[in-house]
Amino acid sequence: MSSTSAGMQVGQPVRAPKTGELIATELRRQMVHGILKPGDSLPSELQLMEQFGVSRPTLREAFRILEAETLISVRRGARGGAQVTAPDPAVAARYVGLLLQIQGTTLDDVYEARMIAEPACARLLAKRRTKKDLQDLNEVIEKLEAAIAVRDDSLPDPAQWSGLTYQFHELVMQRSGNRTLAVQGAVLQDIVATHLMMRVSRHFDSTESPERFKRAIKAYRKLVALVEAKDADGAERHWRNHMEAAAKYLLRGELHNKPVVDLFD
C-alpha cells in the first residue's frame, strides 16, 4: 500500500497503538459483531486481565476509551463491573458539532442540510411506515395539543414545546428505514434543537402568536395523514414546504447566519 493510499505523507511517523487501545478495539469488534450485546456484562477485571495478559491500569485504560464512546458503563466498587450499552448518537453529534464550529459553520448552513435530508426521510417513511410509526407520531401530536390546552394564554411551555417538536422530527428520521440518514439527521437535529430552544425561550413573550403553534400542529397532522396514505411524493413535498416556512421563523433577526459556535459559548 502506498503512503498516499494509506492517508499518510512520506516520512510521517506512525504511532503504535497502546495496549489499552488494542483491548478497546477488540471489545468494540465483539460489540459490532453482536458477540457482546447491549445489557451484557463484561467478564470481571481479573478474567479480562488474564485473558489479555495485561495489568489492571491497562485494562482500565481500555474501559475509559469505551466509556467515552458510551459503549460501556462501569460501576465501581466491590460489586462493580462493566456493562455494554447502546451507542448514543449524541456522542457523534458532539464531535461533528465541534468540527462544524471550528469551520465557522452557520445555523443557516446546518438547517439547509436538514431541509435536504429530512423531507427525503419523510418520503421513505411514507413508503415503509407501520402502525406503530403512526401511533408514535400521533402520540407526540396529542402531547403538543395538550401543551397548548393547559396554558390560559395558549402559549406552551418553551422547554416542553421544543422537546416535543424535537421528538417528532426525530421520529420522522429514525422511522424512515434508512439508518445512514437517521444517524446523519440525529447529529444535525441535536445542533438545531439547541438553537430552537434558544429561539423559543428568547421570543416567548406577549408578541408571540398562539396561531403559529396551532399551524405547526396542523402541519404535523397533515404529514401523518400523508404518511398513513403512503403518499411519498406528497409527504416529501409537504415536509419540505413546512421546513422552509419554519426556517423563516427560526433563522430570522440576530440568528440569521449565526455561527454554530455561538450556541455553545
Q: Which of 84, 107, 123 is the last residue of a domain?
A: 84
| Last residue of one domain, picked from the residues 43, 65, 84 | 84
Query: What are 7-64's pLDDT values in tens digits?
Result: 555 556 667 789 999 999 999 999 989 999 999 999 999 999 999 999 999 999 999 9
Residues 173 and 247 in one domain: yes
Could you tell me if 234 and 180 lie in one domain? Answer: yes
SS3 72: strand
Element (DSSP H or E) covering residue 190: helix 179-203
How many domains are there within the chain? 2
pLDDT (average), residues 225-240: 98
Within this chain, do residues 127 and 72 fall inside the same structural domain, yes or no? no
> 245-265: per-residue pLDDT in tens?
888 877 765 555 666 655 444
Q: C-alpha angle with apex 87: 84 to 89, nearest 5 degrees?
A: 160
* pLDDT for position 29: 93
Q: Is residue 4 part of a domain?
A: no
Spatial distance between the Cα atoms of 265 and 263, rounded to a whole number of angstroms: 6
Supply the CATH number for residue 219's domain: 1.20.120.530
Quote the distance between the C-alpha of residue 176 and its chain's center.
14
pLDDT at 96: 79
Q: Are 136 and 208 in a shared domain?
A: yes
Do 236 and 143 sit in the same domain of this protein?
yes
- On whether both 159 and 73 belong to a single domain, the answer is no
80 and 116 inside one domain: no
Q: What is the mean pLDDT of residues 199-221?
A: 74
Q: How many CA atoms, within 13 angstroms, populate the side-chain half-sphere of residue 160? A: 16
pLDDT in tens, 143-188: 999 988 765 556 778 778 888 998 999 999 999 999 888 888 877 8
Shared domain for 188 and 115, answered yes or no, is: yes
Residue-range definition of the domain harbouring residue 140: 90-264
> What are the angstrom distances between the C-alpha of 27 and each of 20, 32, 65, 143?
11, 9, 11, 41
254 and 191 fall within a common domain: yes
75 and 111 both lie in a single domain: no
Torsion sign (Cα): 75, 76, 78, 84:
positive
- Whether 218 shows a pLDDT value over 80: the answer reads yes
**Does residue 115 sit in the same domain as residue 34?**
no
